[in-house]
Chains A and B, each alone.
Chain A
């Protein structure tokens, strides 16, 4: 069940050269009930804000004991720019956890694939899967690389690729997925990132493993009521915020 009350920010950070922001806030109810793939919806602009819509941000990590929740985000527009100015001790107006996360089955060998802001959602998944997974991450260039030490600390395997070869291998993350699958033994692939990446991975997986994707769409209510953030599936439109954001790829109609 979702909760709604102001949560105290207990830490903020800028990650790497890329300007990616991290906010850690205390919300025992979110921390104790959330799972990887779920998101929170954040009100931006403070009291009397002219920003009517909340901003959906994936849960990048949570710790039941301390009740802390970790989110990471890129500054894209007015809302995320405002969030980037928040300081420790201030209150975050947050609703969550929302949506359905990644289904996790113990004992499976998995790949977690992240591109762009999609890496924050699979970071939490890598924490839960630990050594049972290998993380494959794609960045446009080396300056955008972040959160790597967190992936490493979770004991999962890790491969990085950049579009321009400025760090690690040159190319797209899809190449890494193809190589891992060709090697065999992979039960499940999880991916979060741009639609083009999700679709390309779908073609590569081609039924060789279970494949789950986390989708992004512009949202209204964030709780499943308004029908704004829908995606095409085999059985018609489904709601990204409530039926997803994670879907089994077999039901998704990739554009």
Chain B
């Protein structure tokens, strides 16, 4: 075995997973947009302790994002409409990526754009770096151009994925939106177009009104719902997609405990992402990692990867 390949063995359980040839020391990845580029959570854990970190979406040019308020609380969830605020791919490549790589993190670059050409140019720039994987974000509900528009039309999704496929030899994850009638249609289309893996779900489009002022709670009027409230929807979609595609599936949406992660893997996830749970508990990714190990140890599973698709139907 390559000595650089890190495996977390906790309570005798091998937690490592392999996603499109990339070794993750454990199946827990922090979800794009909820952990920045890892720095802010350094008081609690290093990005290198995670399976991987999916960084805040990068775009070709810097993006200002939406007006405030950008966030509000909902029962067991939150709505957000950040609007992809970021400093642009060049800033990321110069400042954040080298730091993350020198710390030893596995880095997934979440990539967003307005049109095929700027997605493609951004992907080409990332291709020339030592980032580990690209996660193509065709699912952001909070921008008015691009974003989710690509993820809700199977032809547009396939066209974009095949174009990006030509720009990079890095493992290409495509992140899907749940705001569609049939998610398996989109999943199959992006698999055929050359995706190496699928991640899901991005946030569910939602809205709240402050009845005192009669105004929407978010400046953007609508926003994306995440957190425990969406977990059953996410789980159902991961299960549906896993039954249709052959490529690895990364499951997310409302995971906040080790038990949730186990459930998501049983539904078919090869790895999982944790987002909103960190807002309540900054240590959530570590707690979830340890929770997966606990479950496996108690149930006599030697490796966490054996959970994947283990749901018993019928």
Contacts and interface: CB of A to CB of B under 8 A. Distances in A.
B276 A227 contact: no
Nearest to B85: A227
A94 interface: no
A48 to B, nearest CB: 9
A218 B68 contact: yes
B220 to A, nearest CB: 12
Interface in B72-86: 72-73, 75-78, 80, 82, 85
A220 B41 contact: no
Contacts of A242: 40
B149 interface: no
Given A52-B78, A52-B276, A224 B65 contact: no
A113 to B, nearest CB: 23
Give the bracket for the number of chain A residues in contact with chain B: 20 to 34
Contacts of A31: none
Contacts of B279: 52-54, 220-222, 226
Given A4-B283, A226-B279, A227-B70, A52 B82 contact: no
B35 interface: yes
Given A236-B64, A237-B85, A225 B36 contact: yes
Contact of B34 (A43, A53, A226, A231): A226
Interface in A192-242: 217-231, 236-237, 242
B70 A218 contact: yes
Nearest to B42: A1
B35 A225 contact: yes
B278 interface: yes
A223 B282 contact: yes
A196 B85 CA distance: 26
A153 interface: no
A49 B68 CA distance: 26
Contact of A54 (B69, B227, B276, B280): B280
A228 B82 contact: yes
B280 A52 contact: yes
A30 to B, nearest CB: 13
Max count, chain B CB within 10 A of own CB: residue among A218, A219, A220? A220
B43 A219 contact: no
Contacts of A237: 64-65, 85
Contacts of B44: 4
Given A54-B279, A218-B68, A229-B68, A223 B76 contact: no
Contacts of A108: none
Interface of B: 33-36, 39-41, 43-44, 56, 64-65, 68-73, 75-78, 80, 82, 85, 227-228, 276, 278-283
Kindly list the 4 A-B residue pairs having the minimum CB-CB distance in the complex, ordered from nearest.
A225-B36, A228-B71, A225-B40, A224-B40
Interface of A: 1-4, 43, 49-54, 95, 217-231, 236-237, 242
6 contacts: A52-B77, A221-B279, A224-B39, A224-B40, A227-B33, A228-B70
Given A52-B276, A225-B40, 10 more contacts: A4-B44, A4-B282, A51-B73, A52-B280, A53-B279, A54-B279, A217-B69, A218-B72, A224-B36, A225-B278
